[in-house]
Amino acid sequence: MAVELTTEEKVAILMRQASDDREGDRFGAAGGLNPLNIRTLFHGGGPTRIFRILLSNACAFSCSYCPMRSGNDLARHAIAPEKLASIFMEAYRRGWASGLFVTSGIPKNPVWAMDRMIALVEQLRFGLRYAGYLHAKAVAGCEPAQVERLAVLVDRLSYNLESTCQRTLDTHAPDKSIAAGVKLLRRARRVAREARPVPGDPRAGRPLLSSGVTTQIVVGLDDTSDRDILHATSTLWRERTIHHPHFAAFRPIRGTPLEDRAETPALREHRLYEADHLVRRYGFAEDELVFENGLLPLAHDPKLAWALAHPERFPLELTTASREELLRVPGIGRIAVEKILAGRRAWTSFTTRELGTLGPLARRAAGFVAFLGRRLSIFKAETPLFAPEAIPVPRNVYSISPGTFR
């Protein structure tokens, strides 16, 4: 006979399953943080400690990469929206968390699942007068009007496209459509720009969707190249459909059709994040980056790989270089660039030691810059002892895929 779990036991399970075990232990526990799965999010307003949880881990969909897929041998749990709102507010009042991220499987059907999500958000905003950070994930197959309602009440809305190739979704997630997903993302952004604040919303004067819209791509679910992935996500960013993308290295999940497939190296996911950062924050176009057979090199970060491919651009003269040129120097970040521009008129000498005061990685730039015509150092690209591409990918099988819950 099945044993009915207490609300506290359900909360513990659903928070663990919404965890990202790569994020480690920030507050004294391992993996999915115990007793609460709390992740620190850093943004323009400072750090926010995010309480992360699934509203339900039940799902009517059968995506071949997902641990919550219909038919998988998984104990199913759900929390009533009003109960979850109360639990989160208790954590918020105690100072354990300062924001909420909530996602969900798709029990029954997408419309029913989104109604529960909206009920949670409305209870927090209007019933409990919560004015803090709130991130909710829209589910595939929901109604456009539901996305509109969510968009005017949360600070960040996400919807996972999962792939940039519809044929891949047809094979692994047949209930999902890239075109429909992009329409929902664009609708959310349009509503945020055009809609007026909802009467009674406690967020006095804060812009709608102040933290933007995000999406996720599962990397390695198919043979789509890094070049094509970056082109797709950068296009969505340039047209202001998304604030930024998430990338999730594929992991084989126990009990799914892809259980025997090799996982995607985490370093590939990391390189995609670095390349995306160069596009969104450093003025690179994605087609400028260095690719090898469509993939970003694993041996060097994308900025260094670009610099090594363009020796004619270096050494860069620190006393005259423009902001745009300085941003392309390996090891020099945005803050270091502003320090250089603000202080270089007063420099009478400049060495590698002074370079190191500009930032934690700035010494790496020594071989790429010059002061009054003198290169600060000779740069030699170190070849890794073992080429990352040659390192065997472990044949691990997981119970939870962190990327599913971003």
Q: Which two tokens stand for residue 165?
A: 């190739």
> Is 193 in the same domain as 342?
no
Q: Are residues 31 and 165 in the same domain?
A: yes
Structural domain contains residue 210 = yes
Q: Where are the beta strands (DSSP E) in 14-153?
A: 38-43, 46-54, 99-103, 133-137
Based on the fold, state whether residues 255 and 354 are members of the same structural domain.
no
> In this structure, what DSSP letter does residue 125 have?
I
> pLDDT tens digits for 233-271?
999 999 999 999 999 999 999 889 999 999 999 999 999
Claim to verify: residue 33 and residue 171 sit in the same structural domain: yes
Beta carbons within 8 Å of 292's beta carbon, 6+ residues apart: none
- The average pLDDT across 204-226 equals 94
Place of tokens 């999010």: 41
- Whether residue 35 is predicted with pLDDT greater than 60 in this model: the reply is no
101 token code pair: 């991220």
Q: How far apart are CA 40 and CA 131, in angstroms?
A: 18
Helix intervals (H) in 72-208: 81-93, 110-122, 144-151, 166-172, 178-194
Reference 19, options 310, 402, 391, 342; nearest CA is 402
Task: List pLDDT tens digits, range 144-176.
Answer: 999 999 999 999 999 999 999 999 999 999 999
pLDDT for position 106:
95
Instruction: Mean pLDDT check: name the lowest of 71-80, 92-101, 178-187.
Output: 71-80
Q: Are residues 208 and 317 located together in one domain of the fold? A: no
Q: Are residues 57 and 187 in the same domain?
A: yes
Confidence of residue 22 (pLDDT cuts 50, 70, 90): very low
Write down the pLDDT at residue 32: 31
* Whether residue 327 sits in one domain with residue 272: no
Tokens of 202: 């406690």
Tell me which of 261, 290, 319 is where a domain ends: 290
Q: Is the dihedral of CA 13, 143, 112, 76 positive or negative?
A: negative
List 269's β-bridge partners, or say none.
Answer: none
Shared domain for 67 and 131, answered yes or no, is yes
d(CA 162, CA 170): 12
Domain membership flag for residue 391 = no
Number of H helices, E strands in the chain: 12, 10
- How far lies 398's CA from each of 31, 259, 282, in Å? 13, 8, 36
DSSP single-letter state for residue 56: B
Residue 262 has a CB neighbour count (10 Å cut-off) of 15
CB 236 within 8 A of CB 185: yes
Is the residue at 88 inside a domain?
yes
pLDDT class of 71 with cuts at 50, 70, 90: confident
283, 320: one domain: no
Q: Report the percent of the chain where pLDDT is more than 90.
A: 71
Closest CA to 149 of 165, 170, 166, 125: 125
115 lies in a domain? yes
Q: Which domain holds residue 362?
A: 310-375
pLDDT of residue 30: 29
Q: Is the confidence at residue 24, as pLDDT, over 50?
A: no
Residue 113 contacts residue 139 (beta carbons within 8 Å): yes
Is there a domain that residue 87 lies in? yes
